[in-house]
A and B are shown apart, each in its own frame.
Chain A
């Protein structure tokens, strides 16, 4: 019966069309999760860039530090995940402060290029130490397996939802912190004009300390997220810095909000690209977006010009 066959064929085709669309939507949804993670990872990087005035390549290694402190406390020492994560975030914040004081402060006067190169050295040291202590291979946290939830044919795991919720929560509280509190306003003043800020009586050292704690703490938080949703291995950090750089360039020197937009763009672009081209190209997509953006808009998404 040709007619019958044709009708099933058509419905199969339409079903296939619908599943393809659902698949695309699924990739976009995963992209949002990736984007949320990237937002948190990049905000800390961007804060350092604005207040301390250089690109901190070692920022991604801080994610690794936090992820592995969490792993060490949770899987190796047998703590519950929540106290391990909190301890990891606090520890990472202070490690960041220490590195800022010991390494970057003395060479700041030599210009952003020298400090940028020094941060590569820091990244080497941290990565090397992690390899020595933890070793290569894949690690897993001692947490319950992810539960999937389904809605409209889309899947999302509870850990992915935690990532999105934490990203939203910390973005909002960060915005409130930067706009409402004295330290937050001091950080913003330092970011936009350090000399003016200093001459208006802002305590530069204290503000810089707050920035290091804040940006490394955010790195710590994103490190915990990484430990929750990604496969954990010691070379994880290097891949993250590429994506963080991509988001940071795309966002330009602008506000928190441009980081949020840029993070979502890069995250969604990377994950949706998997739908069309081999997954190996995923990191390449992040940079393709950036290069297109840089050529079209050298000043980044925000309207501010690079100094």
Chain B
């Protein structure tokens, strides 16, 4: 495969995958009014659930306790369910908190999960993680595996977007909007405010968990380092980049961010120090972009203009 084709595949693959997260976050934030700063936790829960369900029972130096050795599709289902279960567990005590307090608690939960995965070796070998995660043989129609996985990620993103679209266009979605716009009024006309918020939180965890499973298949490795707070920040940056109101904008924002980061990662470096500087420069540029976008909101203005026209 040529360099360009490889690059496009990588962008589509990771871009679509993270778009699932951004889309879910968008529903939680722009529609549900919930600031979830712990997105990575649901992603990690899905990935680990998938890995544990499909992994062979421990042997040799393995420190993990459970490996169920089940087929991949069962792993995907488990990933979705575990992610939702984690959302129930974390949403129940925290969703009555508002705004930034919710942001902080979800952030705290994500950090706690990460710390648990590092310290509790019986879950997934601690920092070493679970390697050689089972992945279905994806060499369909003579296409390379990467292309098929990129297609799968794209399909997942499409399904997620369509499902959210349907959900939010329904009376249910209007009830969710009503709560965001005026909680007291929504309550006055008999909407179960806390119940609806909780439901949105749990429902949106499902695609995040499945994306986690797909991520585990693609990388064939899960370890705590892959699921640090950086993922959460990345998704938030993508969300802000794309403007928070439209689903298409969200997807474009994520693809743009991945497209911007992939080339930097692909450059071969002569020395460790050079790679280090490049990685740091990537952070600096991402941060500056982030600040500038928040300051002038060009994409938001663009979508407003399109709506007005």
**Distance to closest chain A CB from B292 (angstroms):** 9
A136 / chain B contacts, CB cutoff of 8 Å: 276
Give B244-290 interface residues, CB cut-off 8 Å to A.
273, 276-277, 279-290
- In the complex, whether B192 has a CB less than 8 A from a CB of chain A is no
- CB–CB B276/A135 < 8 A: yes
Q: Of A117-125, A150-158, A180-188, A200-208, which binds chain B?
A: A117-125
- In the complex, whether A212 has a CB less than 8 A from a CB of chain B is no
A106 / chain B contacts, CB cutoff of 8 Å: 295
Which of A54, A110, A122 contacts B291 (CB under 8 A)? A122
- In the complex, whether B16 has a CB less than 8 A from a CB of chain A is no
- CB–CB A294/B94 < 8 A: yes
B281 / chain A contacts, CB cutoff of 8 Å: 128, 132
Cα–Cα, bound, A282→B112 (Å)? 10
B100 / chain A contacts, CB cutoff of 8 Å: 54-55, 112-113, 116
Which of A107, A126, A245, A278 contacts B104 (CB under 8 A)? A245
- In the complex, whether B165 has a CB less than 8 A from a CB of chain A is no
- CB–CB B35/A113 < 8 A: yes
Cα–Cα, bound, A116→B102 (Å)? 13
A126 / chain B contacts, CB cutoff of 8 Å: 287
Number of residues of chain A lying within 8 A (CB) of chain B: 45
- CB–CB A117/B283 < 8 A: no
- CB–CB B287/A125 < 8 A: yes
- CB–CB A121/B112 < 8 A: no
- CB–CB B107/A245 < 8 A: yes
B294 / chain A contacts, CB cutoff of 8 Å: 107, 110, 114, 117-118, 121
The answer to whether A122 and B287 touch (CB under 8 A), given A136-B276, A281-B115, A290-B108, is: yes
Which of A112, A127, A284 contacts B116 (CB under 8 A)? A284
- In the complex, whether B119 has a CB less than 8 A from a CB of chain A is yes
**Distance to closest chain B CB from A137 (angstroms):** 10
The answer to whether A298 and B96 touch (CB under 8 A), given A132-B277, A249-B104, is: yes
Interface contacts (Cβ under 8 Å), in number, total 129
Binary contact readout A187-217 vs B (1 if CB under 8 angstroms, 0 otherwise): 0000000000000000000000000000000
- In the complex, whether A131 has a CB less than 8 A from a CB of chain B is yes
Of B93, B112, B116, B291, chain A has the most CB atoms within 10 Å of the CB of B291
B290 / chain A contacts, CB cutoff of 8 Å: 117-118, 120-121, 124
A120 / chain B contacts, CB cutoff of 8 Å: 233, 236-237, 290
Binary contact readout B68-103 vs A (1 if CB under 8 angstroms, 0 otherwise): 000000000000000000000000011011111101
Cα–Cα, bound, A77→B190 (Å)? 68
B286 / chain A contacts, CB cutoff of 8 Å: 121, 124, 128
- In the complex, whether B118 has a CB less than 8 A from a CB of chain A is yes
The answer to whether A124 and B283 touch (CB under 8 A), given A280-B115, A283-B115, is: yes
Which of A54, A114, A131 contacts B283 (CB under 8 A)? A131
- CB–CB B101/A249 < 8 A: yes
- Classify the interface of chain A: helix, strand, loop or mixed: helix
Cα–Cα, bound, A287→B96 (Å)? 18
Cα–Cα, bound, A162→B240 (Å)? 43
- CB–CB B108/A246 < 8 A: yes
The answer to whether A123 and B287 touch (CB under 8 A), given A280-B118, A280-B119, is: yes
- CB–CB B279/A124 < 8 A: no
- In the complex, whether A236 has a CB less than 8 A from a CB of chain B is no
- CB–CB B112/A287 < 8 A: yes
B289 / chain A contacts, CB cutoff of 8 Å: 121
Cα–Cα, bound, A295→B273 (Å)? 46
Cα–Cα, bound, A223→B14 (Å)? 37
Cα–Cα, bound, A278→B284 (Å)? 35
Which of A124, A130, A132, A291 contacts B105 (CB under 8 A)? A291
- In the complex, whether B111 has a CB less than 8 A from a CB of chain A is yes
- CB–CB B280/A291 < 8 A: no
- In the complex, whether B109 has a CB less than 8 A from a CB of chain A is yes
- CB–CB A298/B291 < 8 A: no
Cα–Cα, bound, A131→B273 (Å)? 10
A-B pairs, 4 with minimum CB distance: A124-B287, A128-B283, A121-B290, A131-B280
Binding site for B on A (CB under 8 A): 54-55, 103, 106-107, 110, 112-114, 116-118, 120-132, 135-136, 238, 242, 245-246, 249, 278, 280-281, 283-284, 287-288, 290-291, 294-295, 298, 306
A-B contacts, 28 listed (Cβ < 8 Å): A103-B295, A107-B295, A112-B100, A114-B294, A116-B103, A120-B237, A124-B286, A125-B291, A128-B280, A128-B283, A128-B285, A128-B287, A131-B280, A132-B277, A135-B276, A246-B108, A249-B105, A280-B118, A281-B119, A283-B111, A283-B115, A290-B104, A290-B105, A294-B93, A294-B97, A295-B93, A298-B96, A306-B98
Binding site for A on B (CB under 8 A): 35, 93-94, 96-101, 103-105, 107-109, 111-112, 115-116, 118-119, 229, 233, 236-237, 240, 273, 276-277, 279-291, 294-295
Inter-chain pairs besides A55-B104, A107-B295, 12 sampled, C-beta below 8 Å: A116-B103, A117-B290, A118-B295, A121-B237, A121-B294, A128-B287, A131-B276, A132-B277, A245-B108, A284-B111, A298-B96, A298-B97
